[in-house]
Amino acid sequence: MKKFKASHPWPLEFKIEANCSKSKARASSLLLPNYICKTPMFMPVATQGIMKSLTTEQLKKLDCHLILANTYHLALNPGKELLDFYQGIHKFMNWDRAMLTDSGGFQMVSLAKLMVVNEEGVSFTSHLDGTEMFLSPEKSIEIQNSIGADIMMQLDDVVSSTTTGPRVEEAMWRSIRWLDRCLKFHFENEQKIHKQNLFPIIQGGLDIRLRKICCEEMIKRDCSGYAIGGLSGGESKDQFWRIVSLCTDLLPKDKPRYCMGVGYAEDLVVCSALGVDMYDCVFPTRTARFGNALTRKGAFDLKKSTFETDTTPI
Amino acid sequence: MKKFKASHPWPLEFKIEANCSKSKARASSLLLPNYICKTPMFMPVATQGIMKSLTTEQLKKLDCHLILANTYHLALNPGKELLDFYQGIHKFMNWDRAMLTDSGGFQMVSLAKLMVVNEEGVSFTSHLDGTEMFLSPEKSIEIQNSIGADIMMQLDDVVSSTTTGPRVEEAMWRSIRWLDRCLKFHFENEQKIHKQNLFPIIQGGLDIRLRKICCEEMIKRDCSGYAIGGLSGGESKDQFWRIVSLCTDLLPKDKPRYCMGVGYAEDLVVCSALGVDMYDCVFPTRTARFGNALTRKGAFDLKKSTFETDTTPI
């Protein structure tokens, strides 16, 4: 596979509005095909194309600029055919702001009963009905093209952040090769080139050498933004922040940086200081749905009887 | 038990705006402590103090004037103590329009595993945890006073509309005696007299003689509105409408009439022509939640695959 370099301009503009004088933090406007987002930005997760327990109107009132949808779930239901019929998920779910879709790879790893990765792609058993499924870099982009989000993610070879040994390096190189296949497939879709962006995902575990190689290789592909993957999965905070800082040092200053799967308040603050612009996690919305309020004074379990007669604001 | 006649004015004003020249239908303004409602009016059911899948804002946008809450469910959770603390359900559920509460009797009959009625009240087994519970006319009003709805319903002795024989007459007379106990208990609560109305429930099954007696007796109590109960439970449409028409002929023209448990479109139209002003039923909201649309052309099951690619309005 030849290295792919984008020959078309990406439909994304990143304007840095202010830089912090004491840290690597920055505030920016992120112009996407469907909406102008302000960063640093947390992107809540609408797994099945709806935000559980919140209407799209409520999301707008909460000043949410971009929501994330899960490729794996949408591929199963409503499926690619219906998504094509509706020309994407935006109209289907009545959301006229920005969207991002994951590649489906992470859900396979976390939800599938049986998962086998080889160079061609990932084979797995559906968590819904037990049927065999197969996801390749091309197939992931094909589905994401049908979903039509402003930002698509490459299919990567995900390994746990606590994995060590040769498997980490194998997954890193395979993620680079899969990025090229994703880019090639996407750029053959004339209709989508000017409507969707594709972000690479930096892999390499907790190994500084591998992360460096991965950053350098992916930067060569000249994408419009970059994600840091494979973190927030059981490693120490020190290791986590060290890898984030390494990546933000290496990644282009004039492009958005997305740290995947991060949603704890402390991590959002620290990673923003390290120069990250975008985050996603089910943690805040799931926690709220389960009756917990995240406040400046910590988390409150509002279902506790001590709050029964408490009428003070959160 | 002495017959009770209201010695205080009820907090309800009923202004008929127009009378139909061809039927007994009328349009009116119903001034309640919390809101001015327009009738004929359908009252959706918020069983546990929330309307399932709809926010109070959405209910207002749908021009909903009054919602119904279930005394039985609210007595179990949040319970009388918390309702008293919050001075009623209105603030608790963020609803500043009108509310009506049932007496809890119907839920006991329909949900309880074991139910025994005697002159004192109704004993039953909770559907939640199997504990023994007891509901008397006084207890029902005590809870409804705590809930604080604009309109409370008397505890009645409910029998199925297809029941015949002496049990129907027994239930009718007992409902009259229980009405007196409800009124007496309510009028001893100085704080609530000017904030809540209490509606009698006409019983008597499909027996014209019994319905007449019940109407006459309950009209003597001089309440601010009247409900027609014990219908819409398996009898023929002809029998149903005949009893409704008899009651609306007998009930005062200048007071609102509420036909309980009615929610089919056809019944709403016919009963309105017969002079009914208020209705409640879980049918429309439950049907919508299950994916069915009720339209002028009939009901559509929107989950059917034939509607997958149908983008025309309902």
Write out pLDDT tens, residues B140-152. 999 999 999 999 9
Q: Which of A51, A73, A57 is nearest to A147 (CA)?
A: A73
Q: Is B308 on the interface with A (CB under 8 A)?
A: yes
Q: What pLDDT is recorded for position A6?
A: 66
Taking contacts as CB-CB distances below 8 angstroms, the residues of chain B near A308 are 78, 82, 85
Question: Which chain B residues have a beta carbon less than 8 Å from that of A86?
Answer: 311
Cβ B308–A55 below 8 Å, yes or no? no
Distance CA A234, CA A232 (A): 6
Strand B201-202 to strand B13-19: parallel, antiparallel, or no bridges (unpaired)? unpaired
pLDDT at A215 exceeding the cut of 70? yes
Best A51, A53, A55 member to test B by mutation, with max B CBs in 10 Å, is A55
- Say what percent of chain A tops pLDDT 70: 96
Q: What's the pLDDT tens digit per position in A11-67? A: 999 999 999 999 999 999 999 999 999 999 999 999 888 888 888 989 999 999 999
- CB distance B13 to B36 below 8 Å: no
User: Binning pLDDT at 50, 70 and 90, where does residue B264 land?
Assistant: very high
Nearest to A309 among B58, B85, B309 (CB): B85
Asked whether A144 and A101 are in contact (CB, 8 A), the reply is yes
Question: What 3-state DSSP class applies to B49?
Answer: coil
d(CA B26, CA B268): 13
Q: pLDDT tens digit string along B7-18? A: 678 999 999 999
Label the pairing between strands A36-39 and A26-31. Answer: antiparallel
Residue A85 is nearest to which of B55, B86, B309, comparing CB atoms? B309
Chain A residue numbers with beta carbons less than 8 Å from the beta carbon of B86 are 311
Measure A188 CA to nearest chain B CA, in Å.
27
* Contact A238/B at CB under 8 A: no
| B277-309: pLDDT as tens digits | 999 999 988 998 899 999 888 888 999 988 888
- Best residue in A308, A310, A311 for a mutation probing chain B (most B CBs within 10 Å): A308
Using a CB-CB cut-off of 8 Å, the residues of chain A touching B82 are 308-309
So which residues of A are the catalytic ones? 102, 280
pLDDT for position A305: 87
pLDDT band at A4 (very low <50, low <70, confident <90, very high): low
- Measured in angstroms, the CA of B86 and the nearest CA of chain A are apart by 8
By the CB < 8 Å criterion, does A309 face chain B?
Answer: yes
User: What CA–CA distance (Å, rounded) separates A47 from A65?
Assistant: 16
Q: Is residue A222 within 8 Å of residue A12, measured between CB atoms? A: no
Give the model's pLDDT for residue B171: 95
**pLDDT at A43 (0 to 100):** 97
Whether the predicted pLDDT of B161 surpasses 90:
no
Residue B4 predicted with pLDDT over 70 = no
Report the pLDDT averaged over residues A196-212.
97
Question: CA-CA distance, B314 to B311, in Å (whole number)?
Answer: 9
Check residues A240 and B94 and name the one with the higher pLDDT.
A240
Each residue's pLDDT tens digit, A243-274 = 999 999 999 999 999 999 999 999 999 999 99
Cβ within 8 Å of B, A 81-100: 82, 85-86
Does A55 sit within 8 Å of B309, measured CB to CB?
no
* Closest-approach residue (CA) in chain B for A303: B78
Smallest Cα distance from A141 to chain B, Å: 23
Q: Catalytic site residues of B?
A: 102, 280
Which of B55, B82, B311 lies closest to A308 in CB terms?
A: B82
Q: Is the pLDDT of residue B3 over 70?
A: no
Among the listed ranges A131-135, A286-290, B11-15, B246-250, which one has the minimum average pLDDT value? Answer: A131-135
DSSP-based three-state secondary structure for B98: strand
Tell me whether A313 touches chain B (CB under 8 Å). no
Q: What is chain A's alpha carbon radius of gyration, rounded to the nearest angstrom?
A: 19
- Give the number of beta-carbon pairs within 8 Å between A and B: 15
On the question of pLDDT at B313 being above 90, the answer is no
Contact check, Cβ <8 Å, A309/B55: no
Contact B308 A82 (CB under 8 A): yes
Is the link from the previous residue into B78 a cis peptide, with omega within 30 of 0? yes
Q: What percent of chain A has pLDDT over 90?
A: 67
The answer, yes or no, to whether residue A1 has pLDDT greater than 60, is no
Mutate to test the interface with A, among B50, B52, B57, B90 (most CBs of A within 10 A): B57
Is A55 within 8 Å of chain B by CB?
yes
User: According to the model, what pLDDT value does residue B6 have?
Assistant: 65
A306 contact B CB<8A: no
What pLDDT is attached to residue B281? Answer: 92
Position B186 scores a pLDDT of 96
At residue B102 the predicted structure's pLDDT band, cuts being 50, 70 and 90, is: very high
Longest dimension (CA), chain B: 65
Half-sphere exposure of A308 (CA within 13 A, CB side): 12
On average, the pLDDT of chain A sits at 92
Cβ contacts of A58 on chain B, cutoff 8 Å: 55
How far is C-alpha B35 from the chain's CA centre?
17
* CB-CB neighbors (< 8 A) of A311 in chain B: 86
Does position B235 have pLDDT exceeding 70, yes or no? yes
By the CB < 8 Å criterion, does B309 face chain A? yes
**What pTM does this model have?**
0.84
CA B190 to each of CA A20, B8, B194, B196, B291: distance values in angstroms, whole numbers, following the listed order:
64, 10, 8, 11, 46
Interface check for A53 against chain B (CB to CB < 8 A): the answer is: no
For residue B77, the chain A residue with the least C-alpha distance is A308
pLDDT band at B59 (very low <50, low <70, confident <90, very high): very high
Mean per-residue pLDDT over chain B, rounded: 92
CB distance from A305 to chain B under 8 Å?
no
Q: What is the pLDDT of residues A160-200, one digit of tens each?
A: 888 899 999 999 999 999 999 999 999 999 999 999 999 99
Q: What is the pLDDT of residue B208?
A: 96
Question: Searching chain A, which residue's CA lies closest to the CA of residue B303?
Answer: A78
Across-strand partners of B198? B152
pLDDT of residue B160: 84
> Model confidence over A94-151: pLDDT tens digits?
899 999 999 988 777 676 666 888 999 998 877 677 778 889 999 999 999 999 999 9
